[in-house]
Amino acid sequence: MLNDPLANVMSLILNNELIGKSECMIKPVSGTIKELLKVMKENNYIGDFKETEDSRGNYIKLILVGNINKCGVIKPRYSVRNNEFEKFERRYLPAKDLGILFVSTTKGIMTHYDVKSRKIGGKLLAYCY
């Protein structure tokens, strides 16, 4: 039984990257997972992905490009204002301007750079570098 599907996806991606696989299958699929994968693709951490319908539920076939050193979820999901991101950047990212934090906002899931430029806040979901 899955307790946190997003954490399972991030660990699956990281494990497949570390052993050198070129693709992986993600199941189960949710809207949050698809939005997070779109943001990862826009930032060139993963390649293309395709959702396929199956008789037992949907799954995503994901192409890996080898750009991920570490990724994971942030628990608890902290609520963050626009001027509080620096503390979490120091906590979860290895260096300044290296990696991204994924933030869930009212405008959708986006990186912390986009959130800071739009001057809005949100809840931290995950990190990747």
Distance (Å) of CA 53 to CA 8, 28, 129:
20, 11, 30
Alpha carbons 111 and 12: distance in angstroms, whole number: 21
> pLDDT value at position 1?
56
Q: Is the dihedral of CA 32, 34, 38, 40 positive or negative?
A: positive
Is 10 exposed, middle or buried (CB count within 10 Å of its CB: 0-12, 13-18, 19+)? buried
* Mean pLDDT, the chain cut into blocks of 10 residues (129 residues total): 89 96 94 96 96 91 96 96 93 94 97 95 97
Domains of the chain, first to last: 5-64 (3.30.1370.30), 71-128 (3.30.1490.10)
